[in-house]
Amino acid sequence: MMDPADDTLPTNGDRPKSITLKDVARLAGLSPITVSRALHNPKLVKPDTIARVKEAAAAMGYIPNMLAGSLTTKRSQLIAAIVPQLSNSMFAETVQGLNDELSAHGYQLLLSVSNYSRQKEEDLLTAILSRQPDGIVLTGINHHPGVRKKLLATGVPVVEAWDLTPSPIDIAIGFSQERVGEKVAQYLLGKGYKRFASICARDERANRRRLALEAELQQHGMAPIATHMATPPTVMNLGREGLRAILAEGHAPDVVVCSSDVLAQGALIEAQAQGIAVPDTLGIMGFGDFDFAAYTHPPISSVHVDKRAIGVQAARALIAKIEGRPLAGNVVDVGFQLVERATTRTVG
């Protein structure tokens, strides 16, 4: 749908040649370096010189060229982040937290999305490194081999977010996927559930939670009766399809564990569409404690993670490291909490 009213091509095409420090210096009758100092290091310059500079700069609409600046200082004030997905995910909140904290400290965010592909993550990293970021945030701890190598070679501060490992590339800020899986298993076993199914995104962390859950089940002599894998991006409908597939295969689980509340909501809707009572006939467990989870009917039992805090803490750790301040530790566990709502209940 084009608006027919206005199809004149604005001809601001040829960019006005940019005005530089030298231009401002000439106007102010000073040397370029003095202008530079007046703008970035006022303490070294006489107050009225500063005033003269600011006036000249404002008059000419001077905008510094940070590319040139960073080329000499080797500081870009740029932090790059790679997340698997933005829409429909928990990462938007982490990115918002990251950005807020960075912004408050004068840093800017270069954002990339890997679509859950390790190869894509590596390609993005190469492009990112060429911009000389002061710090990098990666999602997860499982990367293409080249990633760790490149990162160690450049020596940029790195946070691996949303997971934990005893041997991070540099810093890890997240929580243990395994402990989530165990805790969920223990909780559901305690509730009396016996026939476990799962709907799990093809995502490394989700899968590790699932495996830990299965391991814990086996410790109690049980095994999952059905697993459905869903290919990201994680959208609600994949949860519907997942439950439909499990039931179509003839399984009759008494609880289905989903790797995301988004999938859990889908499973819930499918159950209701098929006339299966939740939680009476089927329990449903989600993950992520999305905003909507508390307001579905019935509300979804889930695992809460402070998504925003992960971003904020990642920013703080990077900035500390960049500025040479010591870190309390290079592995930060932000924890998680199981949130019991109404899609699970005590059985029999």
Taking CB under 8 A as the criterion, which residues in 263-302 touch its own copies? 265, 269, 291-292, 295-297
Confirm or reject binding of residue 248 to its own copies (CB under 8 A): no
- Name which position in 122, 160, 163, 170 contacts its own copies (CB under 8 A): 170
User: Among candidates 166, 99, 170, 167, which has minimal Cα distance to 138?
Assistant: 170
What DSSP string runs through 129-167? HTT--SEEEEESS---HHHHHHHHHHT--EEEES---SS
Confirm or reject binding of residue 59 to DNA (CB under 7 A): no
Amino acid at 16: P
- Rounded distance, CA 256 to CA 273, Å? 16
Q: In 183-238, at which residue ranges do the beta strands (DSSP E only) sit?
A: 196-201, 226-230
- Name which position in 27, 45, 124, 300 contacts DNA (CB under 7 A): 45
Taking CB under 8 A as the criterion, which residues in 135-164 touch its own copies? 149-150, 152-156, 164
Using a 10 angstrom Cβ sphere, with 0-12 exposed, 13-18 middle and 19 or more buried, the burial of residue 107 is: buried
- Rounded distance, CA 287 to CA 188, Å? 14
- H or E segment at 124? helix 118-129
Which region among 65-73, 90-98, 243-251, 262-270 touches DNA (by CB under 7 A)?
65-73
149 binds, among its own copies, DNA, none (CB under 5 to 8 A by kind): its own copies
- Name which position in 33, 51, 58, 104 contacts DNA (CB under 7 A): 33
Confirm or reject binding of residue 218 to its own copies (CB under 8 A): no
- Name which position in 27, 34, 81, 137 contacts DNA (CB under 7 A): 34
In terms of CB distance, is 53 or 95 closer to its own copies? 95
- Name which position in 88, 117, 142, 207 contacts its own copies (CB under 8 A): 88
Confirm or reject binding of residue 309 to its own copies (CB under 8 A): no
Which region among 29-37, 119-127, 136-144, 246-254 touches DNA (by CB under 7 A)?
29-37
131 binds, among its own copies, DNA, none (CB under 5 to 8 A by kind): its own copies
35 CB neighbour count, 10 Å cutoff: 29
Q: Give how far Cα 158 sits from Cα of 76, 164, 172, Å.
A: 15, 14, 8
Which parts of this chain interact with DNA (CB under 7 A)? 17-18, 20-22, 30-34, 36-37, 39-40, 44-46, 49, 64-65, 68-69, 71-73
